Structure 1
C-alpha cells in the first residue's frame, strides 16, 4: 500500500460511521435502485442483525472478511437459502458503502456461498387437484355475509395462482385497474413484479368468469384484498393455504400452484419461452426448474425408439 492509499484508508477509518446509523440511507439507496419494499425490509433487517451480532456501536470498518466468516459460522446450521439471503444482504450493504465512499475495500468478494440442493418441482398430484376442485366447488356460506365474502375472495386467490402462475406477492398486489376482463389479460406492475419487470399475463376463461362474479361496484383496489380495497400481505396469502385449505383437509403451499401452472402449460403444448414469459423469469433455466418430469411424455419418447438399431 503506497502513501496515498494509506492516507485514504486512515481517513475512512477515522470517519467510519456506525452501521446502524447508515441503515436509513441504505434503505433509501435500495429504493432508488427500484428494489421492492419487501426486499428492502429484508436486507435492512439482515444488516441490522449482523451489526447487533458485532456488538454495540459496530462501525462500517468492523465488517471485515474475518468478521463475516465468523458470523457465517454461527448461522451455518440454517438452511442454505437462508444463509444465502443473509450473505446477499451483507454484499449489497458493502456495495452501498463503496458507493457512498464509507469504505475502500470489499470484504465480500470471496464469500463462501452455501450450496443449495436442487429439488425437483412439486406440482399438485392428480388426487390433490381433485381435492382442490372439490373444495372450490362447495357451496358458499349464505347467512354469514362476512364468511361468504371471504369464501369468494379465497377461491379467487386460489384460481389466480393456479391459472396465472403469479407469485404470492404479485397476487397480493394485483389491482382491479390492471385487470382487463373483456380483453382477457392482466398486468403485473413493477411495484410487485420480482426484479421490477412488468409483464402481461393472459387470463383463462374460467378465471374470467370467476372475476366477473365480483360486482362492478366492488371492483376497487386490490383484486384479492380487504373489503375496503386494501392489499393483503404476501404472508396473508400463505395463511389461506395454511388455514382455509388445511381446515378442509388439503395441505399444500401456494408456491406449488405456480409449479402446477408451469407443468400444465408445457403439457398443453406451450413452448418453454412462452412459459418463461408468463411466469416472469429472466432466465429460462429458472423456468425449467419449475416443470416436473412427465413420465407419460418420457415413456412415449422411449417407446418411439426402434426395436433394433442399424
Structure 2
C-alpha cells in the first residue's frame, strides 16, 4: 500500500501552502531574489529596481501588469519624470531598471513557478547601451606609473592595484577575498583564488601569478601578526568606495592624463591578455563573463592596436615617401 508522505506530515504538522494568487508582491520579490540574486550587489540592485517599479504602479499588483505598464515605466525613466530635476536617465541607467523586470517576469511566468500567467516583459526592449569601455583602459606605461605610485604608498595599496590589473577582479570581489579562498592545485605547482563573491552569485577560479602570491603571503602575515594567518582573515577590509578613491588619487598623483577607476583596470586586464596571446575563452573564464559576446567587445580595442589598412598601404608606397 502506497503511503502519502505529504498527507502524513500534514496531519502531524498542519501547514497551509498558499496558492499562487495568495502571495503578496513583497513575498514574490523575496522569492525571486532568493532564487535568482545570490550576490549581495545583485540582490540590492534587483530589489531597488523592483521596488521602484512597484511605487510607479501605485497600487497595481505585479499580476495585473501588462506590457503597457512596463512601456509607460520606460517613458517615465527616459523622459525625466524619475528625477526631481526632470533630467532623463542615461540608457545604461534605464537598462539597469528594466533588465531586472524582464528577469523577474521571465522567472515568475515559468511553468515550474507559475506565479504569473504570462510574461508581460517578453517583448520589452532594453535601451541600446553605447560601448564606452573601448577607451577605458590604461596603456602599459600608464599602468607602470600607477603601480609605482601605489607601491610608494603601501603594500596594501600596491596589492590592490596589482590584483585589479593582473586578475581582472571586480572591486566587490576584491573586497571579499579571505585567506581561505587561496588554494594550491593537485601538484602544488600553482595557487588559485576562489572568487566566491562573483556577480550573480557565481564562483570561479583565478590563477595567481607566483610573484603576486608571494606578496599576498607577506601582506596576510603582516595583517595577522603571525606566519599562519587565520582562514577567515579578510585581506582588504575596506569598502569598494575606498578602493575607488585609492585608484583615482593614485592616478592623479602618477601624472597620467586619465582618471582611472578599478573597472578601468579590469578592462586593461582583458585588453593586455588578448594582446599577449590569451584566447577569448581564457579571458572569459578569468573575468567571469557569462557570455563570450561580452568578452568579444575587447577584440575591437585589440584590433585597433594591430596593423591597420593604412599601414599596409604605407609599406607598399614607402619608396615614394
TM bucket, shorter chain: 0.7 to 0.9
**In structure 1, what is the equivalent of residue 180 of structure 2?**
177
The question of whether the paired residues in 2 share the 8 Å contact of 1:185 and 1:202 is answered with: yes
Mapped to 1, the partners of 2:312 and 2:260 lie a distance apart of 34
Report the Cα offset of residue 263 of structure 1. Answer: 1.8
The question of whether the paired residues in 2 share the 8 Å contact of 1:26 and 1:96 is answered with: no
Q: 1:136 to 1:235 in 2, by over 3 A?
A: closer
CA RMSD of aligned residues (A): 3.3
Among 124, 127, 135, which residue is 2:138 paired with? Answer: 124
Mapped to 2, the partners of 1:278 and 1:301 lie a distance apart of 34
Mapped to 2, the partners of 1:153 and 1:137 lie a distance apart of 8
Mapped to 2, the partners of 1:108 and 1:249 lie a distance apart of 48
Q: Does 1:168 align with 2:177?
A: no
Q: Any unmatched runs of 5+ in structure 1?
A: 1-11, 141-150, 227-231
Q: 1:53 to 1:16 in 2, by over 3 A?
A: farther
Worse-superposed segment, 112-121 or 233-242? 233-242
Among 91, 102, 105, which residue is 1:91 paired with? Answer: 102
**In structure 1, what is the equivalent of residue 74 of structure 2?**
72
**In structure 2, what is the equivalent of residue 237 of structure 1?**
243
SS in 2 for 1:290: helix
SS in 1 for 2:120: coil
The question of whether the paired residues in 1 share the 8 Å contact of 2:182 and 2:192 is answered with: yes
The question of whether the paired residues in 2 share the 8 Å contact of 1:165 and 1:278 is answered with: yes
SS in 2 for 1:105: coil
Report the Cα offset of residue 25 of structure 1. Answer: 4.1
Report the Cα offset of residue 24 of structure 1. Answer: 4.0
SS in 1 for 2:205: strand
**In structure 2, what is the equivalent of residue 269 of structure 1?**
277
The question of whether the paired residues in 2 share the 8 Å contact of 1:61 and 1:103 is answered with: yes
Among 293, 297, 302, which residue is 2:306 paired with? Answer: 297
**In structure 1, what is the equivalent of residue 5 of structure 2?**
none
**In structure 1, what is the equivalent of residue 224 of structure 2?**
none
Q: Per-residue CA shift, 1:65-124, capped at 9, x if unaligned?
A: 222111110111212122112111222332344355443222112213211123325220
TM-score, L = length of structure 1? 0.74
Q: Does 1:203 align with 2:212?
A: no
Mapped to 1, the partners of 2:284 and 2:107 lie a distance apart of 31
Mapped to 2, the partners of 1:60 and 1:160 lie a distance apart of 43
Count of aligned pairs between the two proteins: 275
Mapped to 2, the partners of 1:29 and 1:186 lie a distance apart of 32
Q: 1:85 to 1:102 in 2, by over 3 A?
A: same
Mapped to 2, the partners of 1:236 and 1:302 lie a distance apart of 44
